[in-house]
Amino acid sequence: MSAEPIDLISVPVFGHTLFVARADTPLVPIRPICDVLGLAWQVQHRKLTSHPTFAPAVTMMVTTGRDGKLYEMVAMVAEMVPLWLATIHPDKVAAKVRNTLIAFQTKSAKLLYAAWVCATKGLPVHTGKRVNKDLFFQAARPTDWLEHPVVDDVMVLRHQEKVLTQGFKAERGEVRRKANALGRQVGLTAGQLDLLAWFAFSTPPASEQPSFAFEPGAEA
């Protein structure tokens, strides 16, 4: 358990607010998820801490509540959250939260991890707002942007577009539209995505290019 309080990042997930710790590892408090889904906290806590797969991924953390007091919270590494949620059958929860459970099982870990990456890399945490040019150039290195899960998906599409031959003009255009639509979800313009794609596809994978920065006048 950490003696120092750890800040929590609020993450909107399908109409609910979950949290991920601003820590070296993306830790997700489990109790808020149980509360949303109507799961018995004591039962889930006992299952997680006694299970040989889940127990190593569970830890205690200290955070500051809205009242200014310190609270201990049980948290789990983000990548293990969907595995835990998969042990809960949708038919075992109330009908009103069944779709929420399914959404959490399939999407929550990625959204929580994306928020953690953004917070630790100095990128905008919440999606849907256009990132202005100054923020894009100053917030982080291109390698940091490329760690964002959504941007990674964009680069997969851009690679698909790249390998399509000239005879597939319509298909290339459709792939580009999908990539740009994904980019808009995290506020990036088509031009900013072009710059990231140039960096992603022109930089050797083993190179981190530590001297390269998306800053006006920066030297490569």
Print the SS3 string covering 61-73.
EEEECCCCCEEEE
Domain assignment present for 71: yes
Domain assignment present for 99: yes
Does one domain contain both 144 and 198? yes
Q: How does strand 27-29 pair with strand 70-77?
A: antiparallel
| H helix intervals, the chain | 31-37, 41-50, 81-85, 98-103, 109-121, 133-139, 142-146, 149-163, 169-185, 190-202
What are the beta bridge partners of residue 13?
A: 16
| H helix intervals, 68-141 | 81-85, 98-103, 109-121, 133-139
Domain assignment present for 59: yes
Domain assignment present for 177: yes
pLDDT in tens, 9-54: 888 777 888 899 988 888 999 999 999 999 999 999 999 999 999 9
Does one domain contain both 100 and 152? no
CA distances from 219 to 45, 142, 145, 214 (A): 52, 14, 19, 9
Whole-prediction pTM: 0.61
Does one domain contain both 13 and 104? yes
Does one domain contain both 103 and 139? no
Does one domain contain both 16 and 63? yes
**Predicted confidence band of residue 130 (pLDDT cuts 50, 70, 90):** low
Q: Give, in degrees to the nearest 5, the angle at Cα 146 between 164 and 175.
A: 25
pLDDT in tens, 186-204: 778 888 888 888 888 876 5
At residue 97, does pLDDT exceed 70?
A: yes
Domains held by the chain: number? 2
Query: What residues make up the domain containing 106?
Result: 8-111
